[in-house]
Amino acid sequence: MQQHLAKAFQYPDRRLHLFYLDLNRFKQINDTFGHATGDEVLRVVSNRLAASMTDARLIARLGGDEFVVLHDAINPDRVVLDAERLLTVLSCPIVIDGRRHLIGGSIGFARYPEDCTSSEELLQAADIAMYDAKIRETGLSIYNADMKSRIEARQRISERLALALDEDALSLAFQPFIDLSSDSLIGVEALLRWVDAELGNVPPAEIISIAQEYRLLRRLGRWVVAAACKAIMGWEDKGLAVPFPTSINVAAEQLEDGSILRDITDMCEVYGVRPEQIEIELTESIMLKAPEDARQVVLGLQKLGVKVAIDDFGTGYSSLALLMQFSADKLKIDNSFITDLFADSPSFKIVEATIALAKGLGCIVVAEGIETQTQADILQRLGCGAGQGFFFDRPLPAKIFSERWLKPVAQTEFSPA
Ligand code: C2E
Ligand code: MG
Ligand code: MG
């Protein structure tokens, strides 16, 4: 392959463009369905590439699930269109033995001579862009000089994260859900926290994105389930009542590979927690990534007694579709609608309609990101059941949360019959 690429460099004044393509779910398909299925997926992908990139100078598989497409320079406007076309072609299901496999891909793009001086460097630049593409919604990234240092920084964070997991140096913070009419506590969300000695405070969204990219998510997901169960057990051991589920956020990969089901089952057993004491928070984007497998896992969890909340409601494309798939226990209206909530604002109408919808479906509605009394008052007038936000309390360490919010189990429950 390197030789073919080098050949294209025989004419130094030729301008070349390279797409570096990596398939998204190939390893999982190979592991789950076997190598014959994996080989068939690669064959279909090769055919699709050849059929859609007819003017390519070279199409080659680099090994594993990585392909490159080399072109003579293409018009800059065409780069994005071509990449989108490739990604669309790849996202069509591949049917093998009657089963539909969804793969999709990520594409990095680089140019010669603008980005490099040799065939090796062109390949390396496109590879770097491909890594960047993996963390973008679009699945496409065009190489630039800053990218290398950004990727090195992410690599460093991933190494520190692996170490933090080994050393149990992460923590969970707990934020209450409050009943808006009685001001009483009706639930709590566990949110990931990590203050690293070198990196400082790393926000959870970044931790998750790094864990996804560097295949640490399975370990991290298990750690979160364990830490939440440990906290519940710790509160109960102190004689405190925890009469509501503790919510944990779940990432797509945990549903896709079913690990969340195993982790909750295992950790409930280890820490003596009942599955009904756990609630998982799902977003639409998570369900969209692997709809059928994820649906089965969620149904399995519900069978165990685990509660389900729909998180960030209103921010995805298929909120309603998602609601149809599960009987969710809670529906959480996204922060963004609460920020500019005042009478007659567009958010007001959406929030009003969402509350009616959730009530019709029998879910508890939780408004996220309440920061002011006014927002709480408006939401209560609209009939919103519960709220979460800095107005009530910030996410707190487990001990402070329990001191501030939990009450001892009623004495009568301790007294002998
Ligand atoms: P989320 O699940 O929607 O969590 C709510 C976020 O809103 C939290 O941000 C919380 O600190 C923040 N928040 C709460 N009240 C207010 C408020 O009044 N105003 C504002 N501006 N923000 C408020 P955080 O902790 O930074 O988490 C961000 C996101 O990271 C979470 O959004 C969740 O999607 C993800 N995340 C956090 N922990 C985990 C985890 O253990 N696993 C996974 N997969 N994702 C997690
Ligand atoms: Mg959440
Ligand atoms: Mg949310």
In eight-state DSSP terms, residue 382 is T
Atom of ligand 1 nearest to the CA of 281: 2
Band the pLDDT of 73: cuts 50, 70, 90: confident
Q: What is the 3-state secondary structure (H, E, C) of 203-261?
A: CHHHHHHHHHHCCCHHHHHHHHHHHHHHHHHHHHHCCECCCCCEEEECCHHHHHCCHHH
Q: Is 224 in the pocket of ligand 1 (CB under 6 A)?
A: yes
Q: Is 395 in the pocket of ligand 1 (CB under 6 A)?
A: yes
Q: Which two tokens stand for residue 149?
A: 């240092």
- Name 177's bridge partners: 187
Q: Are residues 161 and 286 in the same domain?
A: yes
Choose one of 368, 373, 388, 391 to mutate for the ligand 1 pocket test, by most ligand atoms within 8 angstroms of C-beta: 368
Atom of ligand 1 nearest to the CA of 191: 38
Of residues 30 and 232, more confidently modeled: 232
pLDDT of 317: 62
CATH classification at residue 185: 3.20.20.450
Cβ(326)–Cβ(302) below 8 Å: yes
* Tens-place pLDDT, residues 205-255: 999 999 998 989 999 999 999 999 999 999 999 999 999 999 999 998 899
Query: What is the distance between the alpha carbons of residues 20 and 40, in angstroms, rounded to a whole number?
Result: 21
Q: How much is the mean pLDDT over the chain?
A: 91
- Given 96, 116, 143, the domain boundary residue is 143
Band the pLDDT of 3: cuts 50, 70, 90: confident
For residue 134, being part of any structural domain is answered with yes
Residue 414 has pLDDT above 50, yes or no: no
Cβ(251)–Cβ(287) below 8 Å: no
- Given 143, 164, 190, the domain boundary residue is 143
Band the pLDDT of 176: cuts 50, 70, 90: very high
Ligand minimally distant from the alpha carbon of residue 191: 1
Choose one of 191, 193, 341, 370 to mutate for the ligand 1 pocket test, by most ligand atoms within 8 angstroms of C-beta: 191
Residue 60 has pLDDT above 60, yes or no: yes
Q: Is 176 in the pocket of ligand 1 (CB under 6 A)?
A: no
Q: Are residues 76 and 222 in the same domain?
A: no
Could you tell me the distance, in angstroms and rounded to a whole number, from the CA of residue 51 to the centre of ligand 2?
Answer: 43
pTM over 0.75: yes
Bridging pattern class, strands 278-282 and 99-101: unpaired
For residue 139, being part of any structural domain is answered with yes
For residue 70, being part of any structural domain is answered with yes
Q: Which domain holds residue 101?
A: 15-143
Return all residues near 164 (Cβ < 8 A) that are at least 6 apart: 170, 194, 196
Could you tell me the distance, in angstroms and rounded to a whole number, from the CA of residue 225 to the centre of ligand 1?
Answer: 16
Give the mean model confidence (pLDDT) for residues 55-84.
90
Q: Are residues 218 and 363 in the same domain?
A: yes
For residue 10, being part of any structural domain is answered with no
CA angle 145, 22, 74 (to 5 degrees): 60
Give the mean model confidence (pLDDT) for residues 403-412.
84
Q: Is 369 in the pocket of ligand 1 (CB under 6 A)?
A: yes
Atom of ligand 1 nearest to the CA of 395: 11
Q: Is 205 in the pocket of ligand 1 (CB under 6 A)?
A: yes
Q: Which residue's CA lies nearest to atom 17 of ligand 1?
A: 369
Could you tell me the distance, in angstroms and rounded to a whole number, from the CA of residue 104 to the centre of ligand 3?
Answer: 27
How many structural domains comprise the chain? 2
For residue 395, being part of any structural domain is answered with yes
Q: Is 281 in the pocket of ligand 1 (CB under 6 A)?
A: yes
The most distant pair of C-alpha atoms in the chain lies apart, rounded to whole Å, by 92
Q: Are residues 61 and 203 in the same domain?
A: no
User: For the chain, what is the total number of helices (H) and then of strands (E)?
Assistant: 18, 18
Q: Which residue's CA lies nearest to atom 3 of ligand 1?
A: 312
Q: Which residue's CA lies nearest to atom 37 of ligand 1?
A: 191
Q: Is 251 in the pocket of ligand 1 (CB under 6 A)?
A: yes
Residue 79 has pLDDT above 80, yes or no: yes
CA angle 247, 248, 254 (to 5 degrees): 140
For residue 417, being part of any structural domain is answered with no
Residue 279 has pLDDT above 90, yes or no: yes
Q: Are residues 139 and 167 in the same domain?
A: no
* Tens-place pLDDT, residues 110-165: 999 999 988 899 999 999 999 889 888 889 999 998 998 888 899 999 999 999 99
Q: Is 73 in the pocket of ligand 1 (CB under 6 A)?
A: no
pLDDT of 416: 43
Give exposure, 146-157, as e/b (b: 16+ Cβ within 10 Å): ebbeebeebeeb
- Given 89, 108, 143, the domain boundary residue is 143
Bridging pattern class, strands 364-367 and 330-333: parallel
Phi, psi of 325 (to 5 degrees): -80, -30
Query: What is the distance between the alpha carbons of residues 311 and 245, in angstroms, rounded to a whole number?
Result: 15
Q: Are residues 180 and 52 in the same domain?
A: no
* Tens-place pLDDT, residues 316-362: 765 677 777 788 899 999 999 999 888 788 899 999 999 999 999 89
Could you tell me the distance, in angstroms and rounded to a whole number, from the CA of residue 192 to the centre of ligand 1?
Answer: 8
| Residue 293, number of CB atoms within 10 A of its CB | 16
Query: What is the distance between the alpha carbons of residues 76 and 336, in angstroms, rounded to a whole number?
Result: 35
Q: Are residues 254 and 357 in the same domain?
A: yes
Residue 261 has pLDDT above 60, yes or no: yes
pLDDT of 37: 93
Query: What is the distance between the alpha carbons of residues 310 and 323, in angstroms, rounded to a whole number?
Result: 8
Q: Are residues 127 and 208 in the same domain?
A: no
Of residues 130 and 293, more confidently modeled: 130
Distances (CA, A) of 32 to 27, 36, 93, 95, 96: 8, 11, 17, 15, 13
Cα 388 to chain centroid, rounded: 21
Q: Are residues 120 and 173 in the same domain?
A: no
